[in-house]
Structure 1
Amino acid sequence: MRPNWPRLIVVLVAVVALASGAVWAGALLWSNATKQPLPMDDQCRASVGGATVTLTPVQAENAAVISSVALARELPSRAVTIALATAYQESGIRNLDYGHADSVGLFQQRPSKGWGTVKQIMDPYYSAGKFYDALVRVKNWRTRDVNDVAQAVQRSAHPDAYRKHVSKAEVLSSVLTGQSPGGFSCTVGTPGRADAADLAALLGKSLKSRAEVSTSGTKVVVAAGSEGLAWAAANLAIAHVGEFSISRVSVGAGDWVHDPHTLAAWTGIGGGRSVTIAVTP
């Protein structure tokens, strides 16, 4: 007798659904009994006004690098908006080792078109730098339509594809460049190793001469040249919370404490050019 495959599939789907429901119900009972919040998927969130953008931690790290390269070059937030809209379309802000033809990386740049070697392009700092090299050569890039400037750099077969990502890119750019204080948070259930020295090296590489970075035990201190740059440094650190086991970030009177269960909110947001970042020992 031949098996009734459609019916078996329906039964299997029903069993999986029931099992999933039982797991969820158990988690809900645990939450109610312990008064603890249900675990949240690892994620990051940028908010400006009523607009919110949610990213994976990997996307957040890459977006922060794209922003920091522009900041190190003293490019305006508009440059970051254009770059992020491009990265959203080309790779979903993921550092892909594959793509159309020989395209790779955040911006799907092609070695055969002179963007660099595969190894170079797969370095987010390098690929972002090459993108900005091309961007600043576009006539009137500071005032032209974001989609059109991105297309002038990328020369895509889909010339209007970047337009749908502009609003998300604007929110991310505003937060990551420090224009919107207190608008960024991440949660990671199981952070990686704590390493204040490596975190300081990353911040130094990203901010270069625009900030002084030092370490003191399990803390990293950033003395920024402006309040906006201080918030940009804080958000760059938060974007790497999972990699460096960051537990707390302070900017002047502003304070953020990592919560592995939910997205923690900033408290006491105020001015300041000094950033203190604590890692869990």
Structure 2
Amino acid sequence: MTGRTPHRARRTLLAVTGVVAAGALAIGGVVVGLKVLDDRRPVTERCTAAVDGTSADLTPQQADVAALVAVTAERRGMPARAATIGLATASAESHLRNLDHGDRDSLGIFQQRPSQGWGTEAEVTDPVHATNAFYDALEDVDGYTRMRVTEAAQAVQRSAFPEGYAPHATRSGIWASALTGWSPAALTCTLRDVAQPAPAPDAVAELEGRVVRDLGDLPTRTAGVGAAPQGRAGVEVDARGLGGTDPGDASAAARSAWSVAQWAVATASTTDAVAVAVDGQVWTRESAAWSRPDEDDDGPAGAGPPPAPGRVAVTVATS
């Protein structure tokens, strides 16, 4: 039978204590390290549309294309069903990307073929031309609003996979409902801070150019150029009359305003928008959500008072 002497016991106790202390320091270091990593964790950028309890995500780049496809239908005075069909078609053909390649000579977001009369290579890779060409063909399809989405898309595309558009119908309907204004405050984007803001005149000109490209000649008014509050400037868009609707129809004006507002959120990654205000609500990059500011707030991010009914205020980051 053997036993430990008091001296050996003390040495063992000190060794164990040292191991425990070292372990505690190591664990503490891991905790601190995790805290630092958590604080520096990059933002996962995404855009989400949610309608009737069902949501659908897109990347900001896909959302930018989706915004054009949907508001083009709205601008042309076509029903939201057309936007759903357009989005489902572009989703199936290109995953909402402007591709420079495809099967045979197929190109662009709708994979249109120059050899089949859709236009030149430059035209079918121009998202505006491609989208309008698609809707031109869709309008020639008799009864397309009563067809299944995949049937209407196939009537235009003549694909070798006629049911290939069906899996995209639900998500496309959700996004179309938001981007045509039928579902207010339904579309949000989570985005990183603007890394390199442009000078106010350039930032505003870029946004105005995108408004004209996607929405047409809607009246706009600029604010903050040359003296942007907190490094920001903005453009107010009068959405009344979008798509030929009656500017005096309050209900139509409200829906058009929400269409433009959610278009502005969906394109924010490209335009450097940091806030969008409409109908008493505001979306900001910081919150990544729609909310109603207090009555005494000075508009979104210092951009001025809330816009009047039928108008949308878009604030962009500036240097």
**TM-score, reference length from structure 1:** 0.83
CA distance in 2, matches of 1:85, 1:147: 8
Name which of 68, 82, 96 aligns with 1:65: 68
- When residues 182 and 25 of structure 1 are mapped into structure 2, their CA distance, relative to the original with a 3 A threshold, is farther
Structure 1: state its 5+ residue gaps. Answer: 1-23
Provide the residue aligned with 2:206 in structure 1.
Answer: 198
Q: Which residue of 2 aligns with 1:264?
A: 288
List aligned pairs for 1:37-76, cutoff 5 A. Answer: 38-76=41-79
Name the structure 1 match of 2:259. Answer: 232
- Structure 2 vs 1, CA of residues 113 and 25 (structure 1 numbering), >3 Å: closer, same or farther? farther
Alpha-carbon distance in 2 for matches of 1:126, 1:170: 23
Cα 1:25/1:223, change in 2 over 3 Å: farther
Q: 2:36 aligns with which of 16, 26, 30?
A: 30
Q: For the structure 1 residues 182 and 27, does the alpha-carbon distance in structure 2 shift closer, same or farther, using more than 3 Å as the test? A: farther
Equivalences, count: 251
Aligned to 2:315: 278
The 8 Å contact of residues 274 and 284 in structure 2, kept in 1 or not, is answered as yes
Structure-2 separation of matches of 1:238 and 1:133: 27
TM-superposed CA distance for 1:239, in Å, is 1.7
1:57-206 matches, within 5 Å, as 57-191=60-194, 193-194=197-198, 195-206=203-214
Structure label with greater radius of gyration: 2
Asked if 2 retains the 8 angstrom alpha-carbon contact of 1:255 and 1:268, the reply is yes
Cα deviations by residue, 1:167-187 (Å, 9 ceiling, x for unpaired): 000000001111111111112
1:27 touches 1:38 (CA, 8 Å); kept in 2? no
CA pair 106-25 structure 1, distance change in 2 beyond 3 A: farther
Amino acid at match of 1:89: A
Unaligned runs of 5+ residues in structure 2 are: 1-29, 226-232, 241-252, 294-305
RMSD: 2.2
Aligned amino acid, residue 203 of structure 1: V
CA deviation profile, 1:195-215 (whole Å, cap 9, x unmatched):
112111211232224x32221
| Cα distance in 1, alignment partners of residues 73 and 33 from structure 2 | 43
One-letter code aligned to 1:219: G
* Distance (whole Å) between structure 2 residues aligned to residue 50 and residue 132 of structure 1: 29
Look up the SS of the partner of 1:99 in the other structure: coil
Cα shift readout 1:7-30 (whole Å, capped 9, x = no counterpart): xxxxxxxxxxxxxxxxx9877423
Partners of 2:254 and 2:279 within 8 A in 1 = no
| 1:248 partnered with 2:255 | no
Aligned to 1:221: 236
State the Cα deviation string for residues 139-176 of structure 1 (Å, max 9, x = none): 10111111111000000001111111100000000011
How much has 1:31 moved relative to structure 2? 6.5
Please give the per-residue CA displacement for 1:231-250, whole angstroms capped at 9, x wherever unaligned.
11111211222222211110
Residue 39 of structure 1: how far off its partner (Å):
3.2
Which string of whole-angstrom CA distances, capped at 9 and with x for unpartnered residues, describes residues 25-44 of structure 1? 87742376xxx594332211
Q: 1:106 aligns to what SS in structure 2?
A: coil
- C-alpha deviation, 1:128, in angstroms: 0.4
Q: Equivalent residue for 2:243?
A: none
Check conservation: 1:204, 1:212, Cα contact below 8 A: no
The answer to whether the Cα contact below 8 Å between 2:234 and 2:314 also exists between their aligned partners in 1 is yes
Instruction: State whether residues 193 and 285 of structure 2, in contact with CA within 8 Å, keep that contact through their aligned partners in structure 1.
Output: no
2:183 counterpart SS class: coil
TM-score (normalizing by structure 2): 0.74
The CA distance in 1 between the partners of 2:130 and 2:67, in whole Å, is 13
